[in-house]
Structure 1
């Protein structure tokens, strides 16, 4: 018996109980339990095939939960690695597609202004740079006023400098709007720069789950960040930590 429910909890916006997902003989998620508090920023790390994107797609409602119970808010939005803008609609119309709001152009303009893209409101998506397209995708998520924002490696295809700008923009929007954020990433440094909680998945289960108790903005030279980085790399099988078995 399984179900996907809308959550009404005061402090927890995501509850996952014994979620199991298999594709043929391969079990991708194995009786997974997870809770995410309102306003938390959680980064999800793991090797390829560990179940990260499957979990995110389930929370987004894009995949079913055939075994287990998944409780999520109705107001949620997803930003993928590809912007997924409709090429035959101008930028502002992409933002409000399917949205029922009075004066949708004004709603789109306000969101585009927050991501520094108001000057491209009438542009065609194919004329945008990679960074501009991802900012438009973020604005599209923003107009939905999500309680849960799901980010599936949204910066992976960007160059290094644009990636840093986008990371800072996401942090700014998170502080301004306060959704719970789940960021799927392969980048340990990105997880430690943005998230206040880091989870490592391994073979469909949570192998590590700890708080990053370092104030923002964070710096790579901070000894606490460097120590956590070494532990995370070890947990992911990269090595480099003296002790990869204890808690960070």
Structure 2
């Protein structure tokens, strides 16, 4: 069985994974994954459906027990999922403070909502929020915990294109301010290239490719290096200019 090792936060580790294996019955989903995420590093994890992306994220979050290997996650972890997962019978501010252990949780929630531009919606019911507002609330709930590792499981995939651009910019702003290590699971190659320092491609339960993204921010989709990295990642994912290989 895998060992999850909490400990003292070090200067160079937000998460460390060695030889991680995950089986579901007789099916092996992860095959000996090795991964390091540094504090303040933004990592994107791509792969086809069923490649094991969310399984790896859930293992890092402590939501699934791995079969073999070692996970070291020294500090606080927070997760934002594809669905905001707000409790519908609690108002937005109460969702942010849910389970929060701080001396002044109400003030912490107010500060977090101000950061994501939702101060005026603090007393709203979750079902009255737009999709973009609900994801802002989800981010506020994650960041109010001041995580050392922020796990994002396709949180932008259900948003319309314009809202997604706004939330991308917000995530970069908040990441720049709080500097957690980030692992973003996504199917969107452009999203990975716009946000991350490093892109990993997961295939058949293994990390098949790693690309450093050293473009200055804000990034432009028409930049020649962006286009070259995009083509590289798409090819790794089996997508050709004519379609899927």
TM > 0.5 between the two?
Answer: yes
Aligned partner of 1:47 in structure 2 is 48
Moved more, 5-14 or 151-160: 5-14
Q: What residue is the counterpart of 2:213 in the other structure?
A: 212
1:47–1:202 contact (8 Å) kept in structure 2:
yes
Aligned Cα root-mean-square deviation (Å): 1.2
Which residue is 1:174 aligned to? 175
- TM-score, structure 2 length as denominator? 0.96
Conserved 8 A contact 2:60-2:71: yes
TM-score (norm 1): 0.95
Aligned equivalents of 2:151 and 2:74: distance in 1?
A: 12
The correspondence of residues 13-32 of structure 1 with structure 2, limited to 5 A, is 13-32=14-33
Cα deviation 1:24-78 (Å, max 9, x = unaligned): 2221100111111111000000011111000000000000022100111330100
Name whichever of 33-42 and 102-111 sits farther off: 102-111
Structure 1 residue matching 2:5: 3-state secondary structure: strand
Q: Is the 8 A contact 1:7 1:13 kept in 2?
A: no
Kindly indicate whether residue 70 of structure 2 is the aligned counterpart of residue 66 of structure 1. no
- Structure 1 Cα separation of the partners of residues 15 and 83 of structure 2: 25
Cα distance in 2, alignment partners of residues 2 and 235 from structure 1: 29
Q: Does 1:78 align with 2:65?
A: no
Corresponding residue for residue 185 of structure 2: 184
Q: Which residue of 2 aligns with 1:10?
A: 11
Q: Which moved more, 1:145-154 or 1:62-71?
A: 62-71
In structure 1, distance between residues paired with 2:94 and 2:121: 12
What is the SS of the residue equivalent to 2:46?
A: strand
**Local SS of the residue matching 1:65:** coil
Match of 1:244 in 2: none
> How many residues were matched structurally?
241
Q: 2:16 aligns to what SS in structure 1?
A: strand
CA distance in 2, matches of 1:90, 1:103: 18
Match of 1:104 in 2: 105
The 8 Å contact of residues 73 and 148 in structure 1, kept in 2 or not, is answered as no
3-state SS of 2:239 partner:
coil
- For residue 146 of structure 1, give the secondary structure of its aligned residue in structure 2: coil
Structure 2 unmatched ranges of 5 or more: none
Give the Å deviation of 1:105: 1.7
Runs of at least 5 residues in structure 1 that lack an aligned partner in the other structure: 242-248
Does the aligned pair in 2 maintain the 1:19–1:29 contact within 8 Å? yes
What displacement does 1:240 show?
3.7
Q: Distance in 1 between the 2:75 and 2:229 partners? A: 34
Q: Find the residue that maps to 1:102 and give its secondary structure.
A: coil
Of 3-12 and 126-135, the range deviating more from structure 2: 3-12
Partner of 2:34: 33
Q: CA deviation at 1:2?
A: 2.4
